[in-house]
Amino acid sequence: MQQKNSSRIVVMTAGGTNPHVMINALARHFPDLHVIEEQPESKMTLLKRRARRFGWFTALGQLATMIASRLGKGVAAKRSEEIIREHGLSGDIDPKIPVTHVASLNDPACHAAVTELKPAAIFTISCRILSPATLAAIPWPVINFHAGINPMYRGQMGGYWSLVGNDAKNFGPTVHLVDKGIDTGGTLYEKRLTPAKNDTMATYPLLMTASATDIAVQALEDAVSGNLKPFQPVGASALRFPPTIWTWIYYGITKRIW
């Protein structure tokens, strides 16, 4: 059972700069914040999963894009620092925030850690999909940050696909409840943004993360007060995946969207 009047928040993540930006922002509002950090899935595991879904040709094309995008992060480092600075945030690890390390958020060790912490709510960001068994083991609201507007841009690279699809009005992040689907839980808050001309696929997620700290805080405050009000957004539901390297290059050249 949840502790009465608990304001403890547990953040589940696989780590990284973007999650740290969000975690630091949340910690300002929720001093009793704990992090459960899992080991990221290996590139080979991700590649094999995508190959089963799309075939090896497409999966390798997607992997090539991710490698190219990561190489581009060095070029985008100045813009990333600018985003963090403009929002008054920090991507540095705060040693004062307690962290529990687990192999996977879907392991019994994670379930036990959450049960011991008894949070008012759980916030997920940049982590693997929680299994039905994990969701069943967590009797508290689970809220996710998603770098895209649901339901049109579920999955990955939502901001990129909205721009490629001439739908810039739906470039932005969503904070929503987690259910057994992929980004299908009820929306709590969403925000539309306008990326800068020098933003790319390497900085879109950070821009959305930094811009969404306020709606993430609001969603968690709603959870703590028992006042969550999810709604079902309009739009055709579509699950997105990273573009293949040839698709990425094509839109980069023809639309200047990288």
According to the 3-state scheme, what is the secondary structure of 33-53? Answer: EEEEEECCCCHHHHHHHHHHH
Greatest Cα pair distance, the chain, in angstroms, is: 56
State pTM to two decimals: 0.94
- The pLDDT score that the predictor gives to residue 4 is 45
- The pLDDT score that the predictor gives to residue 2 is 42
- The pLDDT score that the predictor gives to residue 75 is 77
β-pair partners for 34: 10
Cα separations (Å) of 171 from 144, 150, 195, 202, 216? 17, 10, 8, 15, 17
- The pLDDT score that the predictor gives to residue 114 is 96
- Give the start-to-end residue ranges of the domains of the chain: 9-255
- The pLDDT score that the predictor gives to residue 68 is 86
Average pLDDT over every residue of 8-34: 97
174, burial (CB in 10 Å: exposed 0-12, middle 13-18, buried 19+): buried
Average pLDDT over every residue of 227-245: 96
| pLDDT tens sequence across 42-90 | 889 999 999 999 999 999 999 999 888 777 667 789 999 999 999 999 9
H-assigned helices in the chain: 17-29, 43-54, 56-75, 77-86, 108-117, 132-136, 158-164, 204-211, 213-224, 245-255
Average pLDDT over every residue of 239-253: 97
Q: Please, which residues have CB within 8 angstroms of residue 257's CB and are 6 or more apart in sequence?
A: 160, 163, 164, 251
Distance (Å, whole) CA 39 – CA 187 = 28
**What top-level class would CATH report for the domain 9-255?**
alpha beta
240, 154 Cβ separation under 8 angstroms: yes
